[in-house]
Amino acid sequence: MILVTGGLGFIGSHTVVSLQEKGHEVLIVDDLSNSAIEVLDGIETASGIRPAFEELNLQNTAGLARIFKNNDISGIIHFAAFKAVGESVQKPVAYYQNNLGSLLNLVAEVEKAASPIPFIFSSSCTVYGEAKELPINESAPVQPALSPYGNTKQIGEEILLDAVNAIADFRVIALRYFNPIGAHPSIAIGELPLGKPQNLVPFITQTAAGLYPKLTVFGNDYPTPDGTNIRDYIHVVDLAEAHVVALERILEGKSDDDYEVFNLGTGKGSSVLQVIDSFERVSGLKLAYEIGLRREGDVIAAYADTTKANNVLGWKTKRSLDEALASAWKWEQKIRNL
């Protein structure tokens, strides 16, 4: 059975469906702090299988020990974490406690297990900061984090590397995501941001749905072709599939190293204005937007070098930006009853 922490969240829920499609049995552990229990029904609709579920905060060590005792866990995919950059600056202690406490408790369970359990860690391209070379490959230096959130990802990777060195045969793959967007083609699951979305695509779809009068583009005076920031937007189903490939790589003993890192992106950079353009094309709508000030902490451009993920992991993206935005829009229309 594969333990998926945070399995009711955006990337987690899509990964659960991809795991089930490949015949893996899943146990979701989620504390519902940033997710809804109805996502379980969505997963069941998308895959035809209802996964096992335990409501638990991973800081509850007794509860976690019980879960490991009562289930035969053969792999762990760890998503559960706080992820709002701005909030992490206001509440650093809560972020370190939650994100690192949860990780440490999970690794402590691995340490106790009769044989080490393969572990996939949710990391982020945020660890590269403003990279000197584009596209960004895995040997680009990790730069000082710009937020406590980003720091929890960097420290999380360091904790796992130390654990791999200390626990015989413990194998970890850290996946550094670029910008996941979109929804499952069944439209049974998608992104459910709590409150005002901070990320571009949910803000676009919520504006188009009438929740906000307009989108503010955070700066058009960057040194890029159209002046707006460039990111690598990856369809969440492509990203989900990478998790299954990574897990199977360890389960089948195919990893070259006990600790491996892969960048997960499409390899293609898109500017904020190109994303708006693509959204307008697939939705047939005109999006209301204005150009505003730069957002503090934004890097100019970030997109992935996909060579290692393609050649070593043996995975590549299959879905386009248009497809991702079309699915995000369908999902928004569904949840707003439009």
User: Which residues are tagged catalytic?
Assistant: 149
Under the binding rule (CB under 6 A), the answer on residue 198 touching ligand UD1 is: yes
Under the binding rule (CB under 6 A), the answer on residue 200 touching ligand UD1 is: yes
Under the binding rule (CB under 6 A), the answer on residue 179 touching ligand UD1 is: yes
Q: At what angle do helices 10-21 and 39-47 cross, to 10 degrees?
A: 30
At 269, list the tokens. 């950079």
Quote the least distance from Cβ 287 to ligand UD1, whole Å.
Answer: 11
Neighbours of 210 (CB within 10 A): 9
Mention every residue, 6+ apart, whose C-beta is less than 8 A from residue 162: none
Instruction: Identify residues 3-62 at the interface with ligand UD1 (CB under 6 A).
Output: none
Please tell me the distance from the alpha carbon of residue 156 to that of residue 214, in angstroms, as a whole number: 37
Under the binding rule (CB under 6 A), the answer on residue 148 touching ligand UD1 is: no
The alpha-helical segments, DSSP class H, found in the chain are: 10-21, 39-47, 61-70, 85-90, 92-95, 101-112, 148-166, 200-208, 236-251, 272-283, 307-308, 321-335
Of 105 and 198, the one with the shorter C-beta distance to ligand UD1 is: 198
Contacts with ligand UD1 by CB under 6 A: the residue count is 19
For residue 298, report the phi and psi dihedrals to the nearest 5 degrees: -75, 135
At 67, list the tokens. 């879960």
Nearest position to ligand UD1, beta carbon: 229
Please tell me the distance from the alpha carbon of residue 113 to that of residue 123, in angstroms, as a whole number: 24
Under the binding rule (CB under 6 A), the answer on residue 123 touching ligand UD1 is: no
Under the binding rule (CB under 6 A), the answer on residue 295 touching ligand UD1 is: yes
Among the residue ranges 110-118, 196-204, 258-266, 318-326, the one whose residues contact ligand UD1 (CB under 6 A): 196-204
For residue 231, report the phi and psi dihedrals to the nearest 5 degrees: -135, 170
Of 85 and 245, the one with the shorter C-beta distance to ligand UD1 is: 85
Instruction: Identify residues 201-230 at the interface with ligand UD1 (CB under 6 A).
Output: 203, 215-218, 229
Of 77 and 217, the one with the shorter C-beta distance to ligand UD1 is: 217
Q: Are 282 and 325 in contact (CB under 8 A)?
A: yes
Of 178 and 315, the one with the shorter C-beta distance to ligand UD1 is: 178
Of 153 and 184, the one with the shorter C-beta distance to ligand UD1 is: 153
Under the binding rule (CB under 6 A), the answer on residue 234 touching ligand UD1 is: no
Instruction: Identify residues 78-97 at the interface with ligand UD1 (CB under 6 A).
Output: 85
**Which of these, 194, 190, 196, lies nearest to 216 by C-alpha position?**
196
Q: Exactly one of 105, 199, 220, 224 binds ligand UD1 (CB under 6 A); which one?
A: 199
- Binding residues for ligand UD1 (CB under 6 A): 85, 124, 126, 150, 179, 198-200, 203, 215-218, 229, 231, 272, 295, 297-298
